[in-house]
Every structure is written in structure tokens, then in C-alpha cells.
Amino acid sequence: MLDTRRAINAILGRLQFTATRSLVRGSLCLAFSLGVAYLPKWPDMSPGANAALFILLFAASLWVTEAIPAFAVALLIIGLEIALLGKPDGIFAQSDHDWEMFIEPWASPLIWLFLGGLVLAHGAQKTGLDRWVATRVATALGTRPGAVLFATMGVTFLFSMFMSNTATAAMMVAVIMPVVGALRGDKFRKALLLGVPFAANIGGMGTIIGTPPNAIAVGMLEGRQPIHFAQWMVVGMPPAMVLALIAGVYLLLRYPSEQRHLDLSAIVGGPPVGSILPLWQRAVVMGVFILTVALWLTDSLHGIPTYVVSFVPICVFAAAMIIGPEDMRALPWDILILITGGLSLGVAISETGLADWIVAHMPLGSTHGLWLAVLVGLFAAALSTFMSHTAAANILIPLAIPLAPDAPAMMAVCAALGSSTAMALPISTPPNAIAYAGGHLQASDFLGGGLLLGILGPILIALWCTVVL
């Protein structure tokens, strides 16, 4: 599920936009984009960059207002790029094949890497491996409130590194709900419920496939300062772990428990999970999961590209009848389309010279790279609080990279990871909405911890990036 207001409204049971409202919003977005892009006479801007500016503004306004679904905006981007920039001897393209650069991101190795992650996650969910592991890890550290909270957040964090943050949060909320129900009148139940979305949002920072903004950043850095799977973990894991620790300590202090030990019998003795498929298939998924992640992390040793490794779960799961045609159709292809649209938008912004034009006309002066990275991260967090994290990354990352030509990776990573620190409202992320929808939390409960993480997060990320990038 995409991290859009439409998705969050669906979780919260709110009314979706009508076709008429979508048409009105889309028309206003078009008028705004045409007016800003073409009415002023932008100095020194080429016709191709001018068209790219219109596409950027139109896409950004559609994403912000969600006049149409986010994946449809991504497809519209590619169509507009081909129509406005792809005509030979036009305002940008020179040859008959130049338009192909706008659809090449669909065949990017990054898309196959992300697809492999989606298949792994689907296999774990279908066999019940994810919940089987979750129920055991969540009770592994004992029954003290602090131990239960950190165990719950820890397993949520780990799963969200490789699975959808939304699916992880939904699973973990279901796992802990019996404990929450037994804590009537105890403030600690809020700590448990908030710990799940906070850990799910933060855990996605740890790997390239953890959340779409990470993949977008890596894709846009190809050819500039490539980042491999293991290298991203070196960049993303330390600040994510620190933020998760801060979140856990905050929740323990803010919502202390009145009990010294919690009753976990409902989790430990609950009904068996994942019994739809034979146990040997669960074992296959576990083995393939370990093998795939190990190969991803050691690509520099064996020389097998990470996107090639992604074919291991796809092929093995199909051969073992763990996934079939219905499962492949059920994968969230809209996420892959949205990532592709973002990468294609980055190509247009870069190749037409729009990114360089924006940087040349920004009053940056002698601003230090660290402060730029912090500002980019804070802006990403602020923007992502009110709109889709993926859409925000699609907009910000191609604009952030040229801000520091000598450190493009720092800018891209800070924009991507900064968006993952936005969790101050129930509508900020689907995991937040899932926890809120249960009726045990108020909107104000998200604010304190969300603001703390949204401010400290970009600063920690930028500081760490200066060390490792």
C-alpha cells in the first residue's frame, strides 16, 4: 500500500475524493503549473528546462492534492516527458531514440531489486513466517514492560527493513492487541501502540528496499555516486537504530506502566499462524530469505549483482509453489510504477538542465554542505508529514542532488531518510493510521514523539553522512 492520503483515509474509514472533486483539483493543478512555468520569463532557462519545470510542478501539485492516484501521476510524468521532450529535433530530443531515456528507469536494476524484496515479503506473509517469528521475538526478552516494548519495537524494526512498513505495522498491531486489551487504564498500552508505527517508520531507513524513498535516492545516484546494498545499511542503520532507541526511551518515560510484569499468555499461547501452507514451504522461505540477504550484503565478495540475486526468491518461490500467478498479480505494482515515475522525473530534471538552473538561481552563497544536508532533511520531514513520503522524495531528491555537486549522495540520502522521520500526525504514514484506527490513541499522542524524531532525525542523519559518505 502506498503512503498516500487516499491509503490512509481508507485505513481510517474516511470518505474518498469524488470524481468531480478530483477533476476540479486536477484542473487547478494544471492551471497553476502552466501559469508558474510559462507566464514569467525565466532568465537563461532553455525551452527543454521550461517544459521539465512544468512537468515537475504539475506532478508535485497532483501528488500534494492527490487529485488522481499517485501511480497515475507517475505514468503521466512519463507520458508528458515523451510528448513534450521526446520529439526529435524539438525543444530537447535530437535523435529518434532520445525519448527512450524516460522509460529506461522501468528496466533499472533497482526495480528488480525492489521486486525481489516484495516477493520475499509476500512469501513470508503467505506462509505465516513473519508472524511466527514476530510472536516469538516479541516475548523473548521477558515480561517486564520495558523488555516487551523494546522487543516489540525491535522485531517491527527488523521486519520493516525488508517488508512493507504498512504490512509490518498491521501484523504487529494484531500481535500485541491482546496485551493492549489487557492493559485497561494503564498508560503503557499507548507506548506499545505508538512503538509499532514509530519502529516501522524508522526501520525502513535501514535498507534500500525498506521504503521507496531509499530506492529513489539510489536510482537517482546511479552514474554519480552509486550506493550498494551493504553500503546503504552502513549509512542508514546507525541513525535508524539511535532514533529507535530514542523513541523507545521516550515512550517508556512518557507512558510508564503501572505493572512490573505483563501477561503475555495471549501471545505465547495464541492460535497457530501460517498453517495455510505446509511447514516445509515456510522452511524454504526462511532459507531463501537468509540466502538472499546474505548475497545482497556480500556482492563485493562474490561479484553477483544485487538485482541478479533478486531472481533467487522469485524463481525458487515459484518452483516451490509458494507463489503463483495470483500472488504475482497481488504484488503492489503501483509502488514500482511510482518509483519508476520518480526516477524518470529525475532524468528530465537533470538532462534538460533544470536542476543546474535552479541551483544557479538559489541564494545559497557559501552555505556549508552539512547545513544544506540538515535543511534538506528537515524540509523532507516537514513536507512528508502532510503528503506521501514517496511523492515527497520524488520531488525533493532530484532537486537536492545538485545543491552539493561534490557530495550528491549526502543530499539524496538526507532527503530520503529525512522523509522517513515524518510521523508527527496520524495521517503522516499508514503505520500511524493503523495504530490510530484501533481507537486507543488520540492524535495528540503522536505529536510529542513525532516532533522529537522529526527534528533530531535529520540532524543525526546529516552528521552520520558526513562520516561515511
Q: pLDDT tens across 350-389, in order?
A: 999 998 898 888 776 556 788 999 999 999 999 999 888 9
Instruction: Yes or no: say if 117 and 134 are a contact pair by the CB < 8 Å rule.
Output: no
Q: How far is CA 433 from the centre of its chain?
A: 15
Least confident of 197-201, 232-236, 298-302, 395-399: 298-302
Choose among 97, 69, 68: nearest CA to 82. Answer: 97
Query: What is the band of 424 on the pLDDT scale with cuts at 50, 70, 90?
Result: very high
**So what's the pLDDT on residue 358?**
87
The model's pTM: 0.91
Grid coordinates standing for 15?
470518505
Instruction: Yes or no: say if 102 and 347 are a contact pair by the CB < 8 Å rule.
Output: yes
Identity of the amino acid at 368: H
**So what's the pLDDT on residue 311?**
96
**So what's the pLDDT on residue 13?**
63
Summarised one tens digit per residue, pLDDT across range 118-131 is 999 999 989 988 88
Instruction: Report, as an integer, the average pLDDT of 203-223.
Output: 95
What is the overall mean pLDDT for the chain? 90
**So what's the pLDDT on residue 268?**
60
User: Comparing 108 with 9, which gets the higher pLDDT?
Assistant: 108
pLDDT at 270 over 60: no
**So what's the pLDDT on residue 102?**
95
**So what's the pLDDT on residue 362?**
79
Share of the chain above pLDDT 70, in %: 93
Instruction: Yes or no: say if 341 and 75 are a contact pair by the CB < 8 Å rule.
Output: yes
pLDDT at 117 over 90: yes
How far are the Cα atoms of 126, 155, 201, 414 from residue 336, in angstroms, in the given order? 21, 26, 19, 22
**So what's the pLDDT on residue 94?**
84
pLDDT at 78 over 90: yes
Q: Is the dihedral of CA 418, 421, 423, 424 positive or negative?
A: negative
Instruction: Yes or no: say if 459 and 239 are a contact pair by the CB < 8 Å rule.
Output: no
How far are the Cα atoms of 112, 119, 226, 460 from residue 311, in angstroms, in the given order? 8, 10, 21, 35
**So what's the pLDDT on residue 450?**
96
- Give the list of residues 6+ apart from residue 371 with CB closer than 8 angstroms, or none: none
Identity of the amino acid at 184: R
- As a whole number of angstroms, the distance between CA 47 and CA 92 comes to 8
User: Comparing 248 with 64, which gets the higher pLDDT?
Assistant: 248
Query: What is the band of 200 on the pLDDT scale with cuts at 50, 70, 90?
Result: very high
Instruction: Yes or no: say if 48 and 85 are a contact pair by the CB < 8 Å rule.
Output: yes
- As a whole number of angstroms, the distance between CA 405 and CA 402 comes to 5
- As a whole number of angstroms, the distance between CA 325 and CA 321 comes to 10
CA geometry: angle at 22 spanning 4 and 164, to 5°?
15
**So what's the pLDDT on residue 180?**
86
